Each structure stands twice: as structure tokens, then as C-alpha cells.
Amino acid sequence: MSDAHTCETVQLECADSTMLIGTLFRPATPPHTALLLTSGTGIPRGFYRRFSAFAAESGFLVLTFDYRGVGDSAPARLKGCGIVYRDWGQQDVPAASAWLREQAPELPLGVVGHSTGGQQLALSPAVDDVDAALFVAVSTGYWAGMPTRMKWFTLLLWKLLVPVSGALFGYFPARIAGLGEDLPIGVAKEWGAWCLEPTYLGAFLDGSGHRRSPDGRPFGPAHFQDATFPLRALYFTDDPIATRANAPVLLDLYERAVIESQWIVPTEAGVSEIGHLGFFRSSCAALWSEHLTWLRAQAHDSDVPSP
């Protein structure tokens, strides 16, 4: 670990008393910006360690955390735990945001959202407190918007593998499918339900004509309309999930945010591949400074107009 930052394991308590485990990365000098990193599906916070350390050494106070059911925030048994996908946004993100705000109430708040981390952000009332956001590979996961091979794999996944796994094991063994850590079956079923809809989670938001969530409960609160912050969305031309078909549908939900999208060709960025996960690997470290600098500038710019 560099002397330019320290890190410590922390506990975050949600409104429903669920405890989450996180890591706080603190710069050696007084921080200029608080940064909340919201993870992708089934990805433990340790995956983002190098990026978070770099951000801390650049002056950010960084909080990463494991969603309930994932990594160090998982229960002893996933079977029967009752966790659903939207709990991550409606319960976990607000707890993490509030905890970080308590540590540094005077600092502007930036968010780096990866994949579902950008989706889940607006299910939290904390979205109203965000000053700027950097989204990485944030899109819908609509199956038909993916390349042919990935498209048919995901359709098989949601139509067959997840239901059978639920019946046999009571959870989804995502590691076997190469989809991150094993997941509570309620998370996998809701994720799949979203991915089967052209408008993704938009088809389930409470309101006239909305679809019923797999757990049978009303969807609950969403706060896309409260997002008025500047948002930079990064995409990669070799990403089979966040494609040119899927990305705009998700960003359209953030209709009041000030959005700019960038499509990055890996070879033009000096790497052979990036895909859905690669931005946070050390091979892409040369890209980090530019976008963190943007995030800092936007988070501190009180003159950015709201539409």
C-alpha cells in the first residue's frame, strides 16, 4: 500500500438494520472530494481496489462497499435470504452515501457507477445529493441489444438456468456462468426480469401499466427525476453488454441530468481490450486521471446549470 493513502474496513448500517461491509480509502493530505463507488452486479469491492487507491492518491476520499448478498456483505447462507436486486439501490446505496457524507459533510460528492451501479444509484434518494457522476459501462442489460452469441446466452440464462438454479439450490451459482459471485435467487430473478424487457427496469417502475416484480411487491421508490447533476458516461466498443443499442435506453431515464457520452476504442486508448470490466484493471490506469479530473471539476462547479 502506498504511503499516499490509507484504507480501513468499515461497517455501514442500512435503514432495515442490514449491515454492509465497505472500505474507506483516505488520502494522505486533506481530501478535496468525497467519492462513492457503486459496484457492478456480483462484483466484490476488492475488484475496484487499484482504481480506488489511485483516486485516493489523487485527493479523493473514496468509499467502496459490498451490496447485501455479495462479498463480505453476504449472509452465511444465500438460500432463503430474501434479497432482491432493487434492494441494492433502495437500501444499500442510501446507507453508503449517508455514511460517507457523515465522514466529510463539507465535501462535494462524486459517484463512480459501474454497470448496475449506475442503474441502482437512481433508486436511492441519495441521488439528490450527488454533485457529479462518472458512469462506466452503465446501460440496460436487454438481451436483444447484445451481440448474437451473448444474446442467446443471456436468453438461456434468464429463461432456463436461473429458474432451474432457484429450484435446485435456492440461489444462483453465478460463478459457474462467469457472472461474478454467486447471487441470492431474488437478485438473479429480478435482474433477469429487467433484462427481458426492452425498457429494462423502466418496465417495472411504479405507475400506470407497470409490470409486477418477480417478488410480487410494488417496485417502490425511484428517483431518476431528481438527478440533475453533470454525468459523463463511458462506453467501450468491445463491450458485449453496454452496447450502442442498450446504452441510450438507460441514460434516457436520467432525463434531467447533464449527460455527455464517450465511446472509447480500446486500441486507440493503448490497450488490446477493455470490455465490460476492463476500465478498472491496471491495464487501463492511463485513462483514470482524465476522468477523475473531470469528476472533481464538475463536483466543485456550482455554476453547472440544471435543465
State phi, psi for 93 to the nearest 5 degrees.
-60, -45
* DSSP track, the chain: --TTEEEEEEEEE-TTS-EEEEEEEEESS--SEEEEEEPPTT--GGGGHHHHHHHHHTTEEEEEEPPTTSGGGS-S--TT----TTHIIIIIHHHHHHHHHHH-TTS-EEEEEETHHHHHHTTSGGGGG-SEEEEES-----GGGS-HHHHHHHHHIIIIIHHHHHHHHSEE-TTTTTSSS-EEHHHHHHHHHHHTSTTGGGGTSSSTTPPPPTTSS------GGG--SEEEEEEETT-SSS-TTTHHHHHTT-TTSEEEEEEE-GGGGT-S--TTTGGGSGGGHHHHHHHHHHHHHHHH-TTPPP-
In a domain, 166, yes or no: no
Overall domain count for the chain? 1
- pLDDT at residue 305 is higher than 60: no
Q: Which residue range forms the structural domain that includes residue 117?
A: 5-141+221-300
- pLDDT at residue 307 is higher than 50: no
**Which triple of cell numbers denotes residue 146?**
447484445
Confidence (pLDDT) at 2? 55
In a domain, 208, yes or no: no
Confidence (pLDDT) at 261? 98
Confidence (pLDDT) at 206? 86
pLDDT band at 177 (very low <50, low <70, confident <90, very high): confident
- pLDDT at residue 1 is higher than 70: no
CA proximity to 37, closest of 176, 142, 162, 130:
130
pLDDT tens across 179-232, in order?
889 999 999 999 999 999 999 999 999 875 678 899 999 999 999 999 999 999
In a domain, 289, yes or no: yes
Least confident residue range of 39-48, 87-96, 167-176: 167-176
Give the rounded percent of residues in the chain with a pLDDT score beyond 90: 91
- pLDDT at residue 306 is higher than 80: no
- Please give the C-alpha separations between residue 210 and each of 114, 123, 180, 197, 215, in angstroms, as whole numbers: 26, 16, 30, 12, 14
- Please give the C-alpha separations between residue 123 and each of 66, 220, 222, in angstroms, as whole numbers: 17, 9, 4
pLDDT tens across 230-276, in order?
999 999 999 999 999 999 999 999 999 999 999 999 999 999 999 99
In a domain, 185, yes or no: no
Confidence (pLDDT) at 274? 98
Contacts 24+ apart (CB under 8 A), 73-79: 73/18, 73/19, 73/20, 73/21, 74/181, 78/170, 78/171, 78/182, 78/183, 78/184, 78/185, 79/169, 79/170, 79/171, 79/185
In a domain, 160, yes or no: no
| Torsion over CA: 200, 120, 129, 298 (sign) | negative
Confidence (pLDDT) at 112? 98
250, amino acid identity: L
In a domain, 287, yes or no: yes
In a domain, 120, yes or no: yes
**Segment 24-49 mean pLDDT:** 97
pLDDT tens across 78-105, in order?
999 999 999 999 999 999 999 999 999 9
In a domain, 172, yes or no: no
Angle between helices 49-57 and 285-300 (to 10 degrees): 50
* DSSP track, 158-171: IIIIHHHHHHHHSE
State how far the Cα of 68 lies from the Cα of 295, in Å rounded to an integer: 27
CA proximity to 182, closest of 193, 169, 195:
169
pTM for the complete prediction?
Answer: 0.95
CATH number (domain holding residue 79): 3.40.50.1820
